Amino acid sequence: MNNISLQYFITAAEEQNITQAAAKLFISQQALSGHIKKLEKAYNAVFFERSPKLKLTYQGERMLAYARRVVEAEHDLVEKLRDDSENRRIRMTIGQTSTRGTVFMPTIIGNYYKMFPNVVLSIISGNHDYIENQLQLGKIELYMGMSANTNLRSSGKTLYRDRLYFIISRELLSQVLGAGADGFVDAHLHGCDLTDACRFPMALPPTTSTLRTTFETMFNERSLSPNIVLETTEHDILFDVCKNGLCGCFVSRELLYRKIMHKSRPSNVLYFPAEGITELAHFNIVYGNREPSLHVRSFIDCCRETIWRSIEEIDKYLVSESTVNSHVYPKMSAF
């Protein structure tokens, strides 16, 4: 079936008025009616009630959903074939609002270029408000990042919920707990809550961050008064000060994984899954309210598949590392 008839049908269904639809399509009312009748005859169906005013029938509603899929699929095919034949370079700008994206982005880009080698990707970073504003202005196609708000202003998908680990050096553990260090390790192999973490000097995100707000709420609920010695969002600094025995801190599983997989990973730091910390942020991919193009949809699918697989591998690795070393202190979960 010629897709021009499907396109004309979609316009008539959306306008619910033959005169207005014909004017929008720059064709006569008779020509538009002819295309619709041709479709009805081809499918042996009635798509419109024509009195007292134009209205889709049940068959028409089903036809509209089908027609939109067919027209969209053809548009994607034409776009991809044109890119291939013209070897056309397409630019796509994407944003990221947190360091989480840097963990996944190299793999995402590699997988995406296998499908679209002619796309030139441009990546910009910034805080959530800045990146969201760039999306609203049409300066970027989509962005990825952590957000405590799952009711997104723009269309998007939540890919996973954050998970934290408490890290601390062996030296600080022994310094604060003395002979009780071994018992602390044994008791917290499978989880360390905020109350126990507050027994040590602590590094936290700055007061302007969403995660810090979550921590402050829990401190108040549990009447905790942590000894905060450092405030920073720089995870490399956090690891270094923890390694040097200044304090303990909470880090995301992705950034912990990146550190413990590194060749120069410190051997004097222990990690424990954080327990009882609720209302953590979500990692979202946000792409605006307009219908995304083929290239954007494919990038979204690539992100979702890559990140889900990565998170699954990270969780398995961290659990296995903890299990392998759980019977020996101080080697338990050391990196």
pLDDT given for residue 80 in this prediction: 66
pLDDT given for residue 329 in this prediction: 39
pLDDT > 90? residue 100? no
| Degrees to nearest 5, angle at CA 130 with 213 and 292 | 110
Tens-digit pLDDT profile for residues 265-315 = 567 888 899 988 766 778 888 887 777 788 888 899 999 999 998 888 888
Q: Which residues contact 29 (CB under 8 A, 6 or more apart)?
A: 18, 19, 22
Q: Structural domains in the chain?
A: 3-85 (1.10.10.10), 89-160+282-313 (3.40.190.10), 164-279 (3.40.190.10)
Of 80, 154, 146, 90, whose CA–CA distance to 122 is shortest? 90
Q: Please list the alpha-helical segments (H only) found in the chain.
A: 3-15, 18-25, 29-43, 58-86, 100-115, 128-136, 170-177, 181-187, 194-197, 210-221, 235-243, 253-260, 294-325
Tell whether pTM > 0.95: no
pLDDT > 50? residue 104? yes
Q: Which residues contact 190 (CB under 8 A, 6 or more apart)?
A: 273, 275, 322
Provide DSSP, 192-210: EEHHHHTTS-EEE--TTSH
pLDDT given for residue 326 in this prediction: 40
Helix axes 58-86, 3-15, angle to 10 degrees: 130
For the four alpha carbons of 40, 44, 50 and 55, in that order, the dihedral sign comes to: negative
Tens-digit pLDDT profile for residues 165-222 = 999 999 999 999 999 998 998 888 888 999 999 999 999 988 877 788 888 989 999 9
Q: Mean pLDDT over all residues of the chain? A: 83
* Mean pLDDT in residue range 31-43: 90
Dist. CA 145–CA 285, nearest whole Å: 7
pLDDT given for residue 249 in this prediction: 92
* Mean pLDDT in residue range 16-39: 89
pLDDT given for residue 153 in this prediction: 57
pLDDT given for residue 237 in this prediction: 86
pLDDT > 90? residue 257? no
Where is mean pLDDT largest: 85-94, 122-131, 176-185?
Answer: 176-185
